[in-house]
Amino acid sequence: MQANGKTVIYNFLWRFGERITAQFITFFVSIILARIIAPSDYGAVAIIIVVINLANVIVNNGFATALIQKKDADDIDFSSVFYFTLCFSLLIYILLYIVAPLISDWYSLPILAPTLRVLGLRIIIGAVNSVQQSYVSRHMMFKKFFWSTLGGTIASAIIGIILAYSGFGVWALVMQYLINTTVDTIVLWFTVKWRPKIVFSFLRLKELIGFGWKLLASALLGTIYDDLRALIIGKVYTTEDLAFYSKGSQFPSLIMKNVNTSVTSVSFPILSQLQDNYSTLAQRNKRLVNLLTLIISPLLFGLAALAEPLVSLILTDKWLPCVIYIRLWCIFYLISSLYTTYLQSFKAIGKSGLSLTMELIDDIIGIILVIQFFRIGVVAISIVTITSRAIAMIVSMAVYSKIFHVKLIDQVKDISKPITISVCMSIAVFFAGKLPFNCFLLLAVQVFVGLIFYCIVCFMFKLPEFMYLLNLLKVSFANKIPKG
């Protein structure tokens, strides 16, 4: 299915709307829960989520992308993947159920065993959901995502808040996560027409595995690396330290995932359609990278400047230790958003092995550095994580330049201007915070200063993507004004 410009924009808007709505509600609920629930409870749940995420990657990753990337995927492919992942998820859940007490004993947290067994049901539900989402993405039906995610987010938010106020602590967070995935899956089941057929093909599955196993290995390595950091912090330090570390990533990930997930989920099917035309694909990817940098860099650097007053205001002072992690995660997510676009271009042309190689570079360097420096402190773990991701991004840019014949210096020039302007903007925002206003007014002034500063400087330097968005807004606004 070839998509025109209007189709891409339409689906992007639905995907972005789904992401921003879900994240806004989730973020609002997390503020309420953070005020009620102790950081130690958040730390315990962070350990649970680490284990569940690892299991989810084993069950779901690889096949989802393979179904989207395959040009002629049909009901036999989707049904074969559906039955395989469902059966495999049951086996993984049984294994998790058995080892839950061992994990609980390792961390000396009795609450982990029962909560792992309950939240582990998300693995089975997620197996169904992953195939549904692949179907929706492949057929550019992102409006379906909006309603399913909205339903799951609202239902889980209500249950989570009620349980938290009722004193259920860790269980409030566990049920919030479980209900979110469950409702999301149910809504997609009733709104998407696709149903698994009573067919199964080992040959088709083998073909998808040929592409997907590399993506699975890549995702698995990345998840193990991410989980390794969380597991080390939870074991060597305290659950409070893990809570501050995890909460520090929540603020910047809210920005990065809203924009990045919206753009990449819509653009990957489009780039996959261009897999035989490297020149056009490179042009589209350049526009994607430049737009992401233009949008994400000021948001992340602005957040870094606002981190301390923001945390104090909305989470209370008990969460102030997470400020340093917010600032470090802002740098990490900026690099990651760019890094992801390069990996996506490799996957789009069928080079999933190259994507795996890039992930290997990131993970191996990261694991070596974490093992060397983890005893220095949690901040050191964050810094080496940024370092390994930066090295992997530079390598991926160099490889991209060879495949698509785009000079490395040109890639650097494209992203350097908005990043430089964003850094200067964050300095202006930081010093605006010295004004003698109350906290609400001060935050409003800082945001206003950052927005005006960034827009004026981008306009002065005539950044191409900024001027493109500005002209797009002018045309949209002009079309809404009734004529004569």
DSSP state letters, 45-104: HHHHHHHHHHHHHHHHTTHHHHHHH-TT--HHHHHHHHHHHHHHHHHHHHHHHHHHHHHH
Backbone angles phi, psi at 166, to 5 degrees: -85, 0
**Residue 158 reports pLDDT greater than 80:** yes
Count of residues for the chain? 484
Place of tokens 């191996």: 364
CA angle 208, 227, 361 (to 5 degrees): 65
pLDDT at 388 > cutoff 50? yes
Task: Quote the pLDDT of residue 419.
Answer: 92
Q: CB within 8 A of 453, min separation 6: which ones?
A: 424, 425, 428, 429
Contact 337, 267 (CB under 8 A): no
CB-based burial, 378-409: b 16+ in 10 Å, e otherwise: beebbebbbbbbbbbbebbbebbbebbebeee
The two tokens of residue 3 are 């998509």
Q: Which residues contact 47 (CB under 8 A, 6 or more apart)?
A: 103, 107, 109, 112, 230, 231, 234, 239, 242
The predicted pLDDT at position 455 comes to: 92
Q: Do the Cβ atoms of 348 and 274 come closer than 8 Å?
A: yes
Asked if residues 252 and 322 have their Cβ atoms less than 8 Å apart, the reply is no
Q: For the ranges 128-137, 371-380, 444-453, 473-482, which has the lowest average pLDDT?
A: 473-482
**Tens digits of per-residue pLDDT, 85-100?**
888 889 989 998 999 9
439 Cβ contact list (under 8 Å, min separation 6): 309, 312, 313
Highest mean pLDDT among 183-187, 373-377, 434-438: 373-377
Position 184 confidence tier, pLDDT thresholds 50, 70, 90: confident
For residue 197, with 0-12 CB atoms within 10 Å meaning exposed, 13-18 middle and 19 or more buried, which class applies?
middle
Instruction: Give the range among 12-26, 32-46, 176-190, 448-462 with minimum mean pLDDT.
Output: 12-26
Give the whole-number percent of the chain exceeding pLDDT 90: 13
Q: Is the pTM of this model over 0.85?
A: no
Per the structure block, which two tokens stand in for 33?
A: 């829960």
